[in-house]
Chains A and B, each alone.
Chain A
């Protein structure tokens, strides 16, 4: 910095501190929490969620009408169940933290729900899609703004059956998340009754080599390989399919809807199918507003597929605290009565399990290195064709 620049900088810094001091004096501080996978293979999604939750807090803090000043406490669940329980306990045990937007990974979320219940800590899940998270127990502390994997797998099975594919091989990771996908996809496919599953393969979530499984699948010669799992092994499986000369359609879930999937595969990603709850940010009712504000903050990472949900989860918690005050019990009570609440992802209604009942599903196909909505794609218009599409 030049010598001339220094005094100005000092003045600005002093001004910032002065303003901060004034607001701090004027309002009570309230802590809220965020948990997601900030490190590890799916950290891109976790960081996108963290930034989005952070955005909700920042916008609220600049709102002169807000009654409290909020501080965001961020913890990393590493997408691992054991770590999730630890950080959930750490957060829930801190009485100053009133509520949290928690978990992208289903395996982490399902492990942590008991902890939230035990401590009476209200959370809104922002990304995990396993139905059991809200439906296994009836915990009044646990809510979820995004849909469940039941909805996306029904849409998936329907689309695959519509194309006239008859033979499908299933690969899923053996966490609760992957097993759930396998279960709901198989059920949905059987209900439609047009296609058969020729083989199901459970793989570990950090496996490197899939050539043995894929060679076995090659012998079964399916038209579609369904994959229930997350981006890192999705990239490996798709890439090794190519090595073995398997030409089936790669049919993924919300777990691979991430820019990291396309970056990891390059041109090989073309023609991959994927599904998720909700709609792309730009098609959401408040998507334009969200992206505008997000870009203003100049975060290092994109909001990724579930950023908008993380924003909504955090925003709902802040809204609730604004109305009922920083009291966990009152927050839980208020959250149990959410009906047709407007948000940037559309109307939100929690059912008696705290599950948002608005199942908008977006179907994607990867076209020229982008996740394109199926109905807008050249595949749907017939200009391009998926492998073996009738």
Chain B
């Protein structure tokens, strides 16, 4: 029996969409029993949501005002306690999971495998290295615990199922006060979330300015798509950092990815290679983005975007 504990990411009373993808990954481990830990200030609704993911055997709901907003240093000692008796402790490879899980691993004295993209056995996993230019198959020792993050772009979300029981274990851990939340700012919008959207329209440096980037927003709205950006566009201030797609930004796997004015640096391609269909629009016919695009359109984006809108 492999007992997998998944640490749930959530915010504003909602479970993060990556959690159901982690469940899919965990469910691909043979003979797995899956539990989800929800550590929250309140978290009742989040725990109920987590319990309804198919394949989940139980939810461990830990309520503590110190748990919200989430801070890795505060959560880690609690997760380390909850992990007792579990063979695998998983988190999403979101910034939440990337921040938290290594701290948990160190407290447990366990190794960590980052960005699992495939499960080969309970101890053998595939993960990308060198910005996705190589895929490593890695074997963890049998016996001790294993901590991992799950590359969410590699998995479909597990469907809804019958609700699993929610337990409220006591967690006896000393919580540090050396780390304090101050604020979070992000453009909250009604647009689909970049990491889980079925369609994404991304803009690059060729947009030329923040004002011109509105063209991307307009097309995205027409398509019901999320907005992304290349690192160059973010560095130039055309788009906020949370929209960056690529090795050091978000790794995404939408049904449709439209790259506009993006040349396609390897670091950007790393973030989109799991997209089902890639469309590239660029005036440079030699741009590397065309090497991976299913449909390429060579020309001036300022002419082509309005033409596309007209066709929609």
- Are A and B subunits of one complex? no
B residues at A contact (CB < 8 Å): none
A residues at B contact (CB < 8 Å): none
